[in-house]
Amino acid sequence: MRSSDNKKIEEARANARRLIEQGPKVFIALFTITGAAYLSGSVYTRSYFSAFGASWVLEEVPIAIYFSQSWIPLLLILFFGYVAVTNRTLIEGLGHVTTATGFKIAVAAVRYGPWFLVGLLSIPTLLSALDFVSAAIDFLLVAIPLLLFLCASTLELFVVRFSNIDRGIDLSRAYLSLAVITAALYVVPAQLGTNWARLDQQDTSSLLNVYLRDDATTYKLLFAAEERWYVFPIRYEGNEPPIKAVAATDVSFGLVQNGSTSQSGAEVPQGQ
Q: Which domain holds residue 157?
A: 2-200
With 50 as the cut, is the pLDDT of residue 271 above it?
Answer: no
Which of 200, 223, 242 represents a domain boundary (last residue)? 200
Residues 113 and 26 in one domain: yes
pLDDT per residue as tens digits for the range 120-161: 999 998 998 898 999 999 999 899 888 888 888 888 777 777
Residues 106 and 230 in one domain: no
Our count of domains for the chain comes to 2
pLDDT value of residue 54: 84
Residues 178 and 224 in one domain: no
Which of 200, 218, 251 represents a domain boundary (last residue)? 200
Query: How large is the angle between the packed helices 133-162 and 172-200, nearest 10 degrees?
Result: 150
Which of 147, 178, 200 represents a domain boundary (last residue)? 200
pTM value is: 0.72
Distance CA 150, CA 211 (A): 46
Rounded to whole angstroms, what are the CA distances from 167 to 80, 104, 108? 24, 16, 18
pLDDT value of residue 19: 55
Residues 49 and 131 in one domain: yes
Residues 208 and 234 in one domain: yes
pLDDT per residue as tens digits for the range 53-88: 888 888 877 666 656 556 666 666 666 655 655 555
Average pLDDT rounded to a whole number, residues 243-261: 72
pLDDT per residue as tens digits for the range 185-211: 889 989 999 999 999 988 788 888 888
Q: How many helices (H) and strands (E) does the chain have?
A: 8, 5
Residues 231 and 150 in one domain: no
Residues 215 and 117 in one domain: no
Distance CA 223, CA 263 (A): 18
Neighbours of 184 (CB within 10 A): 22
| CA of residue 92 relative to chain centroid, distance | 30
| CA of residue 38 relative to chain centroid, distance | 8
Q: What is the CA radius of gyration of the chain?
A: 25
